[in-house]
Amino acid sequence: MRWIDWYGDGSLYVLDIALACCTLEFDAASPASAAPVPTLDDRAHVAVVISGTVTDRLAPGVAAIIDGCEQVAGRRPTVISFGACASSGGPYWDSYAVTKGVDQLVAVDAYVPGCPPPPEALSAVLDQIAHRVKS
Amino acid sequence: MNSPQSSHRWIRLIEPACTSCMICARECPSWCISIDSHTEPVAGLPTGARDRTRNALDRFAIDWSLCMYCGICVEECPYDALEWVGDLTKAGPSSESLVEEMAEKPSARTSS
Amino acid sequence: MLPENWLAAVEALRADGFDYFDWLGCVDEIGRQDCFRVILVARNLAKSAEPRMLSCLLPRDDPRIDSVRGVFAGAAWHEREVAELFGVEFVGGERRRLLLDPGFEGTPLRKDEVLAARTGLNWPGAKEPGETDASPSRRRMLPPGVPDPAVWGDRDASQPASDPAEVAESAVGGRVLRRRT
């Protein structure tokens, strides 16, 4: 897995499950210091962001990735459902092919509303997770 | 990175303008607006006038986990009771926490 | 055109210089005629990508058409998508599903297929102004996508099954403006 060292200092590692349009906002949110790394620091915060619509077909894969994150990190990551689709199915809640929110598969720690949420919405949640709440 | 300044990040209810007409709830493609209302007799009519009723809003809620920020509700409201604002819609720890109750509780309202 | 002429027409189109396959799709014409319309668009790159469209009507109760993946290999995926979403059979085509789960039942893009999720949930817009709880005797307004219960969902068992055109028409929704042909 390629984790993003969000602040570039080994304090927070983030993995993006890039499913749809919200992932573009994830890209926009990642600071200039962010760098993909293959291994984790044991003491760092770890977060998984699900960006985009979870289709029924992809759902088992998404669940497997999140389980995989837990195994690789050795601890349960903070799970963030980013955007309306990941939070509840969003505008596609009534589709015959969409899972109504990633929380149907795994426990979610933070739900970020938006379609898509602005990048600042993600930065704010990640700053909180890493205890870097802006004044 | 900061996105360019946007005024379209959250939708606010201007409660005095709402007549509980249900148009926003009906037009919303995501079915994310919930409205409860009841009818009340209108007070202070001149003597001899026929009884009239008006709608009183009890509950106006938007489920932000469903909202796709299309703005149809803002455009369709005949009374301009919904408006865009530039603050971020807040993230929350649960799906339920994303349901925002926008109508003031009855006890908070002054009597009309 | 008729299904029996489809393959030959596509071959002729390619031979005519339209050798860039653009897309293949389907339209459910229920309500106008009891047919599916299969459409193929190919382009002539030598002539500024000029497009040419071919279309073929298939009877809704027996929608079979030749596969053109021998003419345009790229059509295979488009045909698989049309097959799984509309229930059209492409003779000589690939039978594997493309987007839907192998266990998925139904042909979702047919207009008489009802979006079950919408019928199962209470529509917030069903309440009338001045109402909080549903009044049981009042006729409820229906959202787009949900047919009248008398047509689908709560139909009188003594009545014959609804005709697909009736179901499709009923699900259009009260507030949608429809062009009358």
**Nearest CB to C130 within list B34, B38, B59:** B38
Q: How far is CA C100 from CA B81, C82, C89, C126, in A?
A: 42, 11, 16, 32
Q: Which CATH number fits the domain that encloses residue B80? A: 3.30.70.3270
Report ipTM for this prediction.
0.89
B48 within domain boundaries: no
Domain count across chain A: 1
Contact A121, A9 (CB under 8 A): no
Q: Distance (Å) from the C-alpha of residue B37 to the closest C-alpha of chain C?
A: 5
Q: Which domains does chain C have, with CATH numbers?
A: 3-91 (3.30.460.80), 111-174 (no CATH)
A77 within domain boundaries: yes
B29 class by beta-carbon count within 10 Å (0-12 exposed, 13-18 middle, 19+ buried) = middle
A16 within domain boundaries: yes
What confidence tens digit (pLDDT) does each residue in B8-66 have? 899 999 999 999 999 999 999 999 999 999 999 998 888 888 989 999 999 999 999 99
This model's pTM is above 0.90: no
Q: Which CATH number fits the domain that encloses residue A38? A: 3.40.50.12280
Q: What is the DSSP string of chain C?
A: --GGGHHHHHHHHHHTT--EEEEEEEEE-TTT-SEEEEEEEEEEGGGTTEEEEEEEEEETTS-EEE--TTT-TTHHHHHHHHHHHH--EEETS--S-SSS-TT--S-TTSTTS--HHHHHS--GGGSPTT-SS--TTSPPP--TT---TTTTTS--TTSPPPPHHHHHHHTT-TT------
A33 within domain boundaries: yes
Q: Give residue B108's pLDDT band: very low, low, confident or very high (50, 70, 90).
A: low
What confidence tens digit (pLDDT) does each residue in A75-127 have? 999 999 999 999 999 999 999 999 999 999 999 999 999 999 999 999 999 99
A135 within domain boundaries: no
Residues of C whose CB is below 8 A from B39? 130
Mapping DSSP to helix (H, G, I), strand (E, B) and coil, where does residue A86 land? Answer: helix
Domain that holds residue A73: 3-129
Residues of B whose CB is below 8 A from C141? 26
A76 within domain boundaries: yes
> Are the Cβ atoms of A110 and B88 closer than 8 angstroms?
no
B62 within domain boundaries: yes
Determine the angle formed by the axes of helices A22-29 and A119-129, rounding to 10 degrees.
60
A75 within domain boundaries: yes
B50 within domain boundaries: no
Domain that holds residue B4: 1-40+55-86+98-104
Domain count across chain B: 1
A65 within domain boundaries: yes
A134 within domain boundaries: no
